[in-house]
C-alpha cells in the first residue's frame, strides 16, 4: 500500500477543520430553524426589491432542510468508511492503490491463460501462428512502439528492428536477453581527448569505412586515432562488437543520423558528446509476454530484410 502519512499535527489539523465545518453547518441550520422569526411562514419580506420582485423571509422548506441533514449524515458516514480525515484510513481499509492492484490481479488472472497458451510454442511456431502474432502486435503497440515506431522502423537514437543489423544480436536468445535485462550503451565523449581537429580527422576515417566521400589526408590521420581509441570497442576493421552494443561502422545503418544533419556531421556530434542509449528492461511484462514479443521482433526482422 502506498500511504504517505501526514505528520500528526497536520493530520489533526485536517480532521479538526473537516469535522468542524460539518458540525458548524449542522449547528447553523439547526439554530436558524429554531430561531423565532422562522418558526412559521409569514408575509414578511427581506426588505429589498428588484424590478418589483421581493424576497420572502421564510424558513427553508422542510424537504430542503431534510436534504441538508441527509448530506451531513452521508458525509460523516463516508468519512468513517473511507480515508478522508487526516491519517485515518477508514473502516473499510479501502485505498486507490489497493483497488488498482485488485483490478490488475483480476486482469492478470483473466488474460494469463491467453499468454500461457503460447508459452510452449517455439519462436518459429509463434511466427507462423497469426493469432499469436496478433496478440504480440498489440503488446508491441502498447509497450514498444512509443520508442521503436509503430512498425518497428526506429527513429533517431532508437534502433530499427526491421533490418538485419543488430547492436546486440538478432537471435531469439539475444532478443530475449535484451527484453529481460534491458541494454545500456556507453560510447564515451571524445572532445577533450581528440580536440576539434582530431574529431574532424576521425570522422573522415569513420565515414571512409562505409565507402563515403572523405578527405584522404584527414582520414589517414583519423585512422591513427581510431586504432588508439576506438578499435577496442568497434573492432580494428570497424565491424563493431555485439557484446558491447558497439555498432558496425562499415555499413549504411546509422543509429544516430540526425534528421537535419549529414552523416559526417552526425558522426562528429556522436564523437564530441558520446552516446548513452538506454533500452529499458521489460521484465515487468513477465516471461510469457517477453517470449511472444521475442517472436514478434524476429518476425519484424524477417519481413523487413526480405524486402
Ligand atoms: C567503450 C567502447 C567504445 C569506444 C572506446 C568507442 N565507442 Fe563508439 N560506440 C560505442 C557504443 C556502445 C555505441 C552505441 C551507442 C548507443 O547505442 O547509444 C557507439 C556508437 C558510435 C557511433 C554511432 C554509430 C551510429 O550508428 O550512429 C559512432 C560513429 C562511433 N561510436 C564511433 C566511435 C569512434 C570514432 C570511437 C573512437 C574515437 C569510438 N566510437 C569509441 C562504444 C564505444
Ligand atoms: C524508452 C524507449 C524504449 C522502449 C519503450 C523500448 N525500447 Fe527497445 N531500445 C531502445 C533503445 C534506445 C535501444 C538501443 C539501446 C542502445 O543504444 O544501445 C533499444 C534496443 C532494442 C533492441 C536491440 C536492438 C539491436 O539492434 O540489438 C531490441 C530487440 C528492442 N529494443 C526491442 C524492444 C521491444 C520488443 C520493446 C517493447 C517490449 C522495446 N524495445 C521497448 C528504446 C526503447
Question: 235: Cβ below 6 Å to ligand 1?
Answer: no
- Cβ atoms of 219 and 206 closer than 8 Å: no
Q: How confident is the model at residue 3 (pLDDT cuts 50, 70, 90)?
A: low
* CB 292 near ligand 1, within 6 Å: no
pLDDT digits (tens, 9 = 90+) for 237-283: 999 999 999 999 999 999 999 999 999 999 999 999 999 999 999 99
Q: Kindly report the protein residue whose alpha carbon is nearest to atom 20 of ligand 2.
A: 279
Confidence of residue 236 (pLDDT cuts 50, 70, 90): very high
Question: Which ligand number lies closest to the CA of residue 291?
Answer: 2
Categorise residue 89: left if φ over 0, alpha if ψ from -120 to 50, beta otherwise.
Answer: alpha
pLDDT digits (tens, 9 = 90+) for 52-78: 898 888 888 889 999 999 999 999 999
Ligand 1 atom nearest residue 194's Cα: 38
At 5, list the grid cell: 502519512
Distance 98 CA to ligand 1 centre (A): 46
Sign of the CA dihedral running 291, 296, 297, 302: positive
Nearest protein CA to atom 29 of ligand 1, as residue: 267
Tell me which residues have their CB closer than 6 angstroms to ligand 2.
Answer: 143-144, 146-148, 157-159, 161, 166-168, 175, 178-179, 183, 185, 245, 277-280, 282, 293, 297
Distance 240 CA to ligand 2 centre (A): 18
pLDDT over 90 percentage in the chain: 76
Instruction: Round to whole Å and give the CA distance between 23 and 276.
Output: 60
Amino acid at each position: 500500500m502506498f500511504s504517505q502519512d501526514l505528520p500528526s499535527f497536520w493530520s489533526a489539523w485536517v480532521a479538526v477543520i473537516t469535522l468542524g465545518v460539518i458540525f458548524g453547518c449542522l449547528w447553523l441550520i439547526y439554530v436558524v430553524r429554531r430561531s423565532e422569526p422562522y418558526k412559521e411562514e409569514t408575509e414578511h419580506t427581506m426588505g429589498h426589491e428588484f424590478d418589483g420582485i421581493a424576497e420572502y423571509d421564510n424558513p427553508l422548506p422542510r424537504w430542503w432542510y431534510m436534504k441538508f441533514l441527509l448530506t451531513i449524515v452521508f458525509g460523516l458516514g463516508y468519512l468513517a468508511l473511507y480515508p478522508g480525515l487526516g491519517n485515518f484510513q477508514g473502516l473499510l481499509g479501502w485505498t486507490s492503490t489497493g483497488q488498482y492492484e485488485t483490478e490488475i490481479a483480476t486482469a492478470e488472472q483473466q488474460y494469463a491463460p491467453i499468454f500461457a497458451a503460447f508459452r510452449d510454442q517455439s519462436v518459429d511456431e509463434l511466427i507462423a501462428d497469426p493469432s499469436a502474432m496478433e496478440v504480440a502486435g498489440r503488446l508491441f503497440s502498447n509497450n514498444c512502439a512509443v520508442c521503436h515506431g509503430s512498425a518497428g522502423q526506429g527513429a533517431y537514437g532508437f534502433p530499427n528492428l526491421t533490418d538485419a543489423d543488430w547492436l546486440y544480436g538478432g537471435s531469439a536468445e539475444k532478443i530475449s536477453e535484451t527484453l529481460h535485462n534491458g541494454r545500456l550503451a556507453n560510447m564515451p565523449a571524445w572532445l577533450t581527448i581528440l580536440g576539434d581537429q582530431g574529431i574532424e580527422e576521425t570522422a573522415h576515417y569513420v565515414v571512409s569505412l562505409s565507402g563515403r566521400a572523405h578527405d584522404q589526408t584527414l582520414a589517414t590521420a583519423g585512422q591513427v586515432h581510431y586504432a588508439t581509441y576506438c578499435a577496442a570497442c568497434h573492432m580494428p576493421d570497424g565491424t563493431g562488437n555485439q557484446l558491447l552494443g558497439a555498432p558496425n561502422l562499415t555499413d549504411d545503418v546509422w543509429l544516430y543520423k540526425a534528421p537535419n544533419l549529414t552523416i559526417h556531421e552526425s558522426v562528429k556530434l556522436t564523437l564530441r558528446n558520446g552516446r548513452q542509449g538506454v533500452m529499458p528492461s521489460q521484465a515487468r511484462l513477465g516471461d510469457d509476454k517477453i517470449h511472444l514479443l521475442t517472436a514478434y521482433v524476429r518476425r519484424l526482422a524477417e519481413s523487413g530484410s526480405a524486402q
